[in-house]
A and B are shown apart, each in its own frame.
Chain A
Amino acid sequence: MIKLVFFARLREQLGLSEHRVALSDKLTVLALVEHLIASDVDSNAGSGHSKWQLLLADEVVVAKNQQVVGRDVFIEDGDELAFFPPVTGG
């Protein structure tokens, strides 16, 4: 199981703070997001637009197990993947 977590504006836009996905193959972050989009029941029923497309936005930062990574990085069972907008602390 992969745990996906979302923060700030992205969390609000998705209407979710976390989501779990069962993974049978080793996938890249990008492939996982494409898998989510392709298997989105809501999008198949409607306009073909999936909320998961938000995760593909250039500005969205991805962290795997709390380390910022690129979308070409492979993920494995048990990983935690975080998606969030550029940070604004300090």
Chain B
Amino acid sequence: MDAKQPSKTGPLINVLIQISSFDVAAETQLLENALTGQRSNIGALATFTGSVRGSETGLSGSEDATSYGELLALNIEHYPAMTQSTIEAIALAASQRWSFLGCRVIHRVGRLAVGEPIVLVLVASSHRKEAFAVCEYILDYLKTAAPFWKKAIFEHGEQWVDAKVTDTEALDKWSPPSL
């Protein structure tokens, strides 16, 4: 397991890329356990879980997508050499803006059926404001910078999911950019 401690006073940053699913309660426990000595300082824990929707809006040539039938799954590809380091850099950038104790980010790859969880972002801090902000910041940058690509798998066809302009626009709220 990779654990990066950017500095003696910096937050614990844990990033995992995996095929298997995750259990939110178990992962929360792991983050809390990793923060031994600081556990009594955890006053807030923000949790975000993203799952595969039953419909996918960002399809190129989506006028054809209806003829493909129902969406069954997403196939998620990534650039292994770059994925983890990119997310770690995002979390590190978050630690320059807010003070937090630790985060644990899990992103799944491979074939994920509709309803299955894709991504987990856990952030522990002393106060809720930082936990919410860091959680949203990590997710916003993950969506626009981490090298993952989704392909929608339908009953009768497949289609790459296009990047959404709204994901890039979501970064405006963090400007000036720190990454």
Q: Which residues of A contact B160 (CB under 8 A)?
A: 8-9, 85, 88
Q: Which residues of B contact A68 (CB under 8 A)?
A: 145
Could you tell me if A87 and B149 are in contact, using CB atoms closer than 8 angstroms? yes
Q: Which of B98-121 contact A (CB under 8 A)?
A: 107, 118-119
Could you tell me if B107 and A89 are in contact, using CB atoms closer than 8 angstroms? yes
Could you tell me if B139 and A87 are in contact, using CB atoms closer than 8 angstroms? no
Tell me whether B144 is interfacial, beta carbon within 8 Å.
Answer: yes
Could you tell me if B81 and A89 are in contact, using CB atoms closer than 8 angstroms? no
Could you tell me if B81 and A80 are in contact, using CB atoms closer than 8 angstroms? yes
Chain B binding surface SS class: mixed
Could you tell me if B81 and A87 are in contact, using CB atoms closer than 8 angstroms? no
Q: Which residues of A contact B22 (CB under 8 A)?
A: none
How far is B150's CA from A80's CA once the two chains are assembled, in angstroms? 23
Could you tell me if A87 and B82 are in contact, using CB atoms closer than 8 angstroms? no
Tell me whether B10 is interfacial, beta carbon within 8 Å.
Answer: no
Tell me whether A15 is interfacial, beta carbon within 8 Å.
Answer: no
How far is B145's CA from A89's CA once the two chains are assembled, in angstroms? 9
How far is B107's CA from A63's CA once the two chains are assembled, in angstroms? 21
Tell me whether A24 is interfacial, beta carbon within 8 Å.
Answer: no
Could you tell me if A84 and B81 are in contact, using CB atoms closer than 8 angstroms? no
How far is B80's CA from A80's CA once the two chains are assembled, in angstroms? 13
Could you tell me if A90 and B119 are in contact, using CB atoms closer than 8 angstroms? yes
**Per-position contact with A for B147-179: 1 when CB-CB < 8 Å, else 0?**
111110000000011111001000000000000
How far is B77's CA from A39's CA once the two chains are assembled, in angstroms? 30
